[in-house]
Chains A and B, each alone.
Chain A
Amino acid sequence: MKIGKGEIIFAVIALFFVASFFYGMAVNPGSEFGGADGAAEGVITDVTGGYEPWVGNMGFEPPGGETESLLFALQAAIGAVVIGYFFGYYKGKGRSD
């Protein structure tokens, strides 16, 4: 696939995105860039004066950050393999037809 207008526009937007991240690092010094859902938990605590979830986690809980990263990477890998496989399949099929 040739590098066309679409790829260039995407690259520019991606560049802006990366730049906005560095800008975010500069305005929020010391931030760990934790999950937004964690921050929302803080708001819930503020609003209710300490909310206790009525039921705990029922699935498998990754024992730590490393295992969690593994499972997230696995999720991305499964998706990427499927996308790559079918794009390759269609591309090859298009050529042989």
Chain B
Amino acid sequence: MHIFEGFLPSPWWQLWFVFSIPVIMFGMYRLNKLVSERRDLLPLLAVAGAFIFVLSSLKLPSVTGSSSHPTGTGMAAIMFGPAVTAVLGVIVLLYQALFLAHGGLTTLGANVASMGIIGPLAAYLIYKAGMKANINFYVVVFFAATFADWITYVVTSTQLALAFPSQAGGFVGSLQAFLAIFATTQVPLAIMEGALTALIFKYIIQVKSDALVELKVISQETVNKIKGVSA
């Protein structure tokens, strides 16, 4: 998904930094608070970060004949919210920009905006709405993680189309061309990621459901319902 180094001309790369930096700052503030007040929840944070690390390293082939990778951000967004996820996203994106020549430092703002902020925000909103509507927890997690992944690529397409409108079709023409690559390649990958995230949540609920309750991700009643315990 990464927009390569130097592939966003001015003013676009600066604008995406202006968009991302406040969110990252807020995320660091939230993260600091979490670290100082709830040290017991740090392992869960590490798992959420590690999940992004693993998934974004898997380059999977797709139906369209090209490869792309999942983002893994849905899980962190559900547990810690989009701002903290943005900070985790920065770590992963820096690793890939500095050691793998994937993405870049000048395009970091844009890549954080798509993978670290807007995708996770979509997951967060879908999760909250789904839980409010009383839909099955795992179904909600599945949709939240699927869309965190897919929307990331829709945003990347939009970012590129804004920077490179086509002569004939303008912004919309370019957007269609980029969506045809990113959004379609990503559909099966996103569904796969949604399913994997739901499965991991099953294990988290088995071994550490109290942490999720403390984070107010899920209520004790829902945990009881899932575990089949009558409260």
Contacts and interface: CB of A to CB of B under 8 A. Distances in A.
A13 to B, nearest CB: 4
A58 B65 CA distance: 30
B50 A79 contact: yes
Nearest to B94: A59
B22 interface: no
Interface in B54-92: 54-68
B181 A71 contact: no
Interface in A18-50: 20-21, 23-24, 27-28, 31, 33-41, 43-44, 46-48
B191 to A, nearest CB: 7
Given A17-B188, A87-B203, A87-B207, A43 B106 contact: no
A90 to B, nearest CB: 4
Contact of B6 (A53, A71, A78): A53
Contacts of A9: 195
Contact of A35 (B68, B98, B167, B192): B68
Contacts of B10: 54
B17 interface: no
Given A20-B62, A37-B4, A53-B7, A59 B181 contact: no
Interface in A49-69: 51, 53-62, 68
A1 B50 contact: no
A75 B6 contact: no
Chain A to chain B: the 9 pairs with minimum beta-carbon distance, closest first: A53-B6, A28-B65, A79-B53, A79-B54, A31-B65, A82-B50, A59-B98, A24-B63, A90-B207
8 contacts: A4-B202, A9-B195, A24-B63, A57-B104, A58-B105, A62-B101, A78-B50, A79-B55
